[in-house]
Structure 1
Amino acid sequence: MNCQNELTYLCALRGATTCENNSVESITSAVEELLVELVSRNNLIPDQIISITFSVTSDLDACFPASIARKNTGWEKIALLDCQQMFVKDDLPKCIRLLAYVSLPNEQIPKNPYLGKAKNLRPDR
């Protein structure tokens, strides 16, 4: 993105979702839905996305969320990373979280998607 022609700021977006099963299909569906919501709610194009870090709870190990995101058209230059969420007793099971660094227009208010059972993590959002 050419930041010299547009007034933008670096913004960290958060989001989370849950999936039903520890399967490639279930994780893929959940990650795709989360990314669609992240992009649509914030009116993003790939050039605005700098990086996304995904974390998953220890009960999800069927596939890497970043490998799902990497299949999106135009996402070749986006830095993607997976990690395991630290274990906390009574944490929300089968949860996928993300932290995305993006460039937003100055007047745009960031919108953080919390989907599925993860809505309970941030009822304020």
Structure 2
Amino acid sequence: MSPMWKVRAIRGATTAENNSLEAMREAISELMIEIEARNQLDYDDVISVIFTATPDLDAAFPAAIARERPHWANVPLLDLQQMKVEGSLEHCIRVLIYFNTTKPANEIYHPYLRKAQNLRPDWSLAQFSRY
């Protein structure tokens, strides 16, 4: 019996040190490397990617930075601005990747890096114990 294909999503987030192209490139590259390595992504199976950034990050489009990476040039990427909520995490970049997979949901790795670890501490701790 062949495995059943499903559309699933990878969530993740990170923070940039400041509002500069260099800081955003460093944070996004680190996040994408973590997603790619831990989920063994086949780029042909990626449907689309949505990035959000908090309003205090306007030095670059996260999707443009991701598109610089190998294999991402032909993937549909979209940037949105994260809602401004009083007291929320600053300089935050989030990602949502839709892809086709045979993996069950509990085998998908959702990285929350840097100060964004505080957004989902339950995932950060549970996922490290699996690897």
Structure 2 length normalisation: TM-score? 0.86
Structure 1: runs of 5+ lacking an equivalent: none
- After superposition, residues 1-125 of structure 1 pair within 5 angstroms as 7-107=4-104, 109-125=107-123
* SS state at 1:124 partner: helix
Which stretch shifts more, 39-48 or 5-14?
Answer: 5-14
Equivalent residue pairs, number: 121
Greater than 6 Å deviation, 4+ residue runs: none
Structure 1 residue 6: Cα displacement? 5.9
Amino-acid identity (%): 47
**Larger helix proportion of the pair:** 2
> Equivalent residue for 2:129?
none
Structure 1 length normalisation: TM-score? 0.90
Which stretch shifts more, 24-33 or 67-76?
Answer: 67-76
Structure 2: runs of 5+ lacking an equivalent: 124-131
Q: Considering only aligned residues, what root-mean-square deviation do their CA atoms show, in Å?
A: 1.5
* SS state at 1:33 partner: helix
Structure 1 residue 105: Cα displacement? 1.9
Alignment CA distance shift 1:14-1:26 (3 Å): same
